[in-house]
Chains A and B, each alone.
Chain A
Amino acid sequence: MNRWTEKLTFWRIMFVIILAVGMVAGFRRFYLGLGATTGLSDQVPWGMWIGFDVMSGVALAAGGFTLSALVYIFNLKQFHAVVRPAILTAFLGYILVAVGLLFDLGRPWYIWHPIFFRNPHSVMLEVAWCVMLYLTVLAFEFVPAFFERLGWGKAVKVMKIGTPILVILGVLLSSLHQSSLGSLFLIVPNKLHPLWYSARLPYLFFVSAMSVGFAMVIVESYLSSRAFRKELERPIITDLGRAMMVSLIFLAVLRGQDLIGRGSLGYMFQATTEAGLFWLEIGLGIIIPVILVAIPKIRSHPQGMFYAGLSAVLGLILNRMNVSITGMAAKLGDYFPSWEELSITAMLVALGFAAFAWAVKNLPVFGPSPWTGTVVITPALETERVARQAELQPARVSIQ
């Protein structure tokens, strides 16, 4: 047994444990109710399922629309190879958001109510519709990968005709959705700390989601390339890093402008928990990644870019948590997630990773030319071929 398989087995066991604990927690959540199994209360009705699973989950899925817009609308072909992984992330991300909502909603069996009972004044209605519609669009955007794998060239060609419409719809829906998650908090001017409350929340949410979309693609490309031992295409990663840096700087300008405009700059320098969280968020989410990308040596190094991306992702998660939980804690009360909340979240994340790994292995995800109908060699097919060629030479396992 070499180190690689050991590592793999370790993660498999971890996965099974996380899944088992998550299922126990899930059962308890539905059997005992929300009160007994979450840290939620009348004072803090929204916790980490909203702050992390929904708010951050949706933002981290933003790579799907940013990259498909860049490639299919702006024709920036250099990003072609990562469109599909980005769409896959978005698709999985949105499925997990929907599943997460099933745990969080008090009456999840009525999750379809917003289709029929519609209050047009509610941002939450917009959110619900965006999730439903964008999930459908993402399914259509990703399904050609299955067709390609099955060798259904005709179906792929048919789907290709619809691509521009799907892409435009997807961009529209996700820009609405990303911003609407910010709009949700427009209604709490007296509860949310002034470091975060702003009339511009919808724009800030949109821009931060866009930049973290690039970060996510960097992170997952890097991780996939390590897991499947495939050479990373350095220029793509570097270009993604540049795009991330530009959008992060844009975000920084927006936030600075916003804080100055509202006269809230001073709150940054107070000795409060909020100010601390704010700096942590800005440091992780903007300062560190921008500096890392700005250094040419790191920029051309996949691992360096991975850390830059990871930092941006963590910063964004903290931002969403700050807006939805910690930024309101002073007015509402303290909250700490229960083990059930944590382990159900962990289960969802683990399922997302597993589904992503499965898809990368079995479908043409990192394939060179999606939408063309040509057979793409997936890692699974490749191993099969290699194994067949090598027959009695199992010594080909490389050490890494």
Chain B
Amino acid sequence: MDRQRALLIDITRCVGCGACSEACKTANKLPPETEKTLSATAYTVVQEKGDYFVRDLCRHCQQPTCVSVCPVGAFEKTADGPVTYDGDKCIGCRYCMTACPFSIPRYEWTSRAPLVRKCIMCSERVKEGKMTACSEACPAEATVFGWRDELIADAHRRISENPDGYYNLVYGENEVGGTNVLFLSPVNFADLGFPTNLGNAALPPLTWEVLEKIPNFVVASGVILGGLWWLINRRATVDELRHQTGESHPQHPGQSASTRTHQAGGESR
């Protein structure tokens, strides 16, 4: 895989100033009020979890569930790493919201022509080689922008240099197939409200394994059903014809169930 851009968020460094969410609001031209949870007007928020501050945002999965479930392909995993969204295609089925393992996408519930909203990792800026607005704004280097492989190596270095200060896991290195937003935490991620039951397998294969069987299923069942129809109804027609030409029940063909029994036997067709 080509090298991708990513974010590393170190919860031990975050001071909870909210500069990242503020910068995000400006960059995406969103109403400036600070919000506590993700919404259609807040693509990232800083939440207080006990003694720590934790950012919430789209994880820009390596194999994004949202990209795989959207019927019209409104989401795209770009080569740089960001997962983007094209509102012009969206029909508003909200399958992406149901399916995202991190429950990230938000909906414009108050709009008459609503769209899905989520962080797009400043895909335009990233394409130009610039860093995301949030990482640029962070005064504490709690959110840093870089190449994903380098950030993972850096994260492991931080853990090994200070094993007492960190919980020994780079969250996002492997979760649901790996994500482009990585977290370091001083405590167990479960204590900070991170989903820890996700496993390391990406989700899209779960549906793809079924979907890829469809062409074979259609062909095979089509042939079987057609064959059954031909076999069964051919026999019935033959029976009917015999009855029409024979003497028994000439006026009422088609009661094959009762008549078939005494007609059964080697008949050439």
Contact = CB atoms under 8 A, between A and B. Distances in A.
Interface in A171-207: 171-172, 175-176, 179, 183-184, 186-191, 199, 202
B98 A164 contact: no
A187 B99 contact: yes
Interface stretch (A38-46, A292-300, A342-350): A38-46
Nearest to B213: A202
A33 B221 contact: no
The bracket for how many chain B residues form the interface is 35 or more
A42 B71 contact: no
A110 B115 CA distance: 12
B194 interface: no
Which residue, A121, A168, A199, has most C-beta atoms of chain B within 10 A?
A121
A112 B222 CA distance: 27
A110 B91 contact: yes
Given A73-B225, A77-B254, A41 B72 contact: no
A45 B98 contact: yes
B167 interface: no
A33 B229 contact: no
Nearest to A106: B92
Nearest to B113: A107
Interface residues of A, number: 59
B52 interface: no
A351 interface: no
A314 B113 CA distance: 35
A122 B256 contact: no
Interface string B103-145: 1001111111111000000000000000000000000000000
Contacts of A40: 109
Interface in B166-222: 195, 197-199, 203-204, 206-208, 210-211, 214, 217-218, 221-222
22 contacts: A33-B109, A45-B94, A46-B94, A69-B225, A73-B228, A73-B229, A75-B233, A77-B257, A110-B90, A110-B92, A114-B71, A114-B91, A117-B74, A118-B71, A123-B69, A124-B70, A128-B71, A164-B229, A168-B225, A168-B226, A172-B218, A190-B101
Given A122-B95, A186-B210, 10 more contacts: A34-B109, A69-B225, A75-B256, A106-B91, A122-B71, A123-B69, A164-B229, A186-B207, A187-B69, A190-B198
Interface of B: 38-39, 65, 67-74, 89-95, 97-99, 101, 103, 106-115, 195, 197-199, 203-204, 206-208, 210-211, 214, 217-218, 221-222, 225-226, 228-229, 232-233, 236, 254-257
